[in-house]
A and B are shown apart, each in its own frame.
Chain A
């Protein structure tokens, strides 16, 4: 249970230690990728709690979501339409939904 948190901690430390900076130009892509990753994580946790977890689906979903989101943002920039808003909206809504389901599942387990 604590392993994911350890991973998060190590990731943060690695990120701060490597001192990599993305230019302001690419910052939106990264932020949307973070959002996509969080969404996948929430989806995976939910599937795990529902005992429907499939690691292949999870891993492929993780990378596809990230690249799709970044690609959509990229396309939006080049078309002059804020397409990244679509990604943010979709991921945001799903994130909240998944977290709500997780909360219910945890509550029912705790009872």
Chain B
């Protein structure tokens, strides 16, 4: 009779084992992190950069706060801040060193498609994204300044930027950046250039020492924000 608990123990052991395996197979997370070392490092770098940006932002705001607290004449500081913000938002003309990118058509001999009237919006967005990634500070397409709410879309086969028609070819994109030379090399070897070639377009870029970008001439359309009333 002494054998019975042992047999039971063996059976429960098997049950426990099976239950554990089953539990483990189900407890596996749905999406696994399959990033390798290099990708993880990249992600870490991106986060560090973001942290640095945030820290800089904090110190800048702190500085403004200190100025406001120290000076009697608050209006000057406020005006400075507003000017600074306006510049960042693209409401003022900006001048600086940068890059002029000229987009033109480029057909090979056996091109059989129809006429091309303007740059497709997705290509323009791709190029602008590429420029932003590579460190562009201010961008203007033709005479249209690109701001955070700029819409690039297509209507009747033509591309609109900020609600205005894009000019016919060649289209000029002006970019202001700290390091025109490296942006030039980056953009000339970028993937967006390849995509332009697929669409029978090509662009060339020239670093220039001084160029002026027009201001954003429309009103910002803020739909989901409203000013906070003082005291409320």
Contact = CB atoms under 8 A, between A and B. Distances in A.
A37 B8 contact: no
A41 to B, nearest CB: 6
B24 A19 contact: yes
Contacts, number: 103
A3 B9 contact: yes
Interface in B1-21: 3-21
Given A7-B12, A7-B13, A24-B25, A12 B5 contact: no
Query: Interface extent on B, as a size class?
Result: 20 to 34
Query: Interface extent on A, as a size class?
Result: 35 or more
Q: What is the interface of chain A mostly: helix, strand, loop, or mixed?
A: helix
Interface string A42-53: 001100100001
Interface string B23-36: 11110100000000
A58 to B, nearest CB: 6
A8 B16 contact: yes
A4 B12 CA distance: 6
A41 B24 contact: no
A7 B16 contact: yes
Contact of B22 (A1, A18, A27, A41): A27
Give the one of B8, B15, B25, B26 with max A CB within 10 A: B15
A15 B18 contact: yes
Interface of A: 1, 3-16, 18-24, 27, 30-31, 33-34, 37-38, 40-41, 44-45, 48, 53, 55, 58-59, 62
